[in-house]
Amino acid sequence: MAERATPTGQATRPTVKSSDSTSVVKRLQSELMQLMMSSTPGITAFPEEGNLLKWKATIAGPEDTPYHGYTFKLSFEFPSNYPYAAPTVLFVTPMFHPNVDMAGRICLDILKEKWSAVYNVQSILLSLQSLLGEPNNKSPLNGQAAELWDANPKEYKRLVAARYKDVDED
């Protein structure tokens, strides 16, 4: 079969592209399509203008958590071997949470060693949403938040509100 293909070999060349970058793009396009077709309540995500490898997202604080009523902005940066490697996800909105540090970095296993190629933007956002209600207080990035979570919910809520700022960066 290969030998037979050689005479007209050049013929198909225009349609062959480097599959590496196109596969990331294709995958992100299909994710975007899916997000737009089936809007999931409480989360949004959209690429930055002119760069499909950087997205902006928001999650709404879930009910029955100290975060209810706030909307949190996040940034996604996808590596060129996405989905085989996890995207870099940061909270852009200042965040008072046991597993988020002052720079917005997030400690979540599925974004690190537990990453799997079948995860996507939507599943990450849903995981983060549930992390807001169920923090992992065993290995906190923010010790104060981890202590107050059980000890003093009222003060916790006050600090969430104090830290929250609706940043409108661009």
10 binds other proteins (CB under 8 A): yes
- Given a contact cutoff of 8 angstroms between Cβ atoms, the answer to whether 79 and 148 are in contact is no
Q: Is 54 helix (H, G, I), strand (E, B) or coil?
A: strand
- Given a contact cutoff of 8 angstroms between Cβ atoms, the answer to whether 99 and 131 are in contact is yes
- H or E segment to which residue 75 belongs: strand 71-77
Stretch that binds other proteins, among 4-12, 66-74, 89-97, 144-152 (CB under 8 A): 4-12
Binder among 21, 26, 112, 161 for other proteins (CB under 8 A): 26
Contact string (CB under 8 A) for other proteins, positions 113-142, x = contact: ---xxxxx--xx-xx--xx--x--------
List alpha helices for 17-81, DSSP H.
19-37
110 is catalytic: no
Kindly provide the b/e burial profile for residues 72-98, where b requires at least 16 CB atoms within 10 angstroms of the residue's own CB: bbbbbebeeebbeebbebbbbbbbbbb
- Given a contact cutoff of 8 angstroms between Cβ atoms, the answer to whether 131 and 43 are in contact is no
Tokens 């202590």 sit on residue: 147
CB of 10 to other proteins, least distance (A): 7
37 binds other proteins (CB under 8 A): yes
Of the pair 117, 167, the CB lying nearest other proteins is at 117
Size (the chain), residues: 170
Contact string (CB under 8 A) for other proteins, positions 80-119, x = contact: ---xxx-----------------------xx-----xxxx
CA distances from 33 to 15, 114, 115, 148 (A): 24, 26, 22, 40
Contact string (CB under 8 A) for other proteins, positions 40-69, x = contact: ------------------------------
Binding residues for other proteins, per CB under 8 A?
1-2, 5-17, 19, 22-23, 26-27, 30-31, 34, 37-38, 83-85, 109-110, 116-120, 123-124, 126-127, 130-131, 134
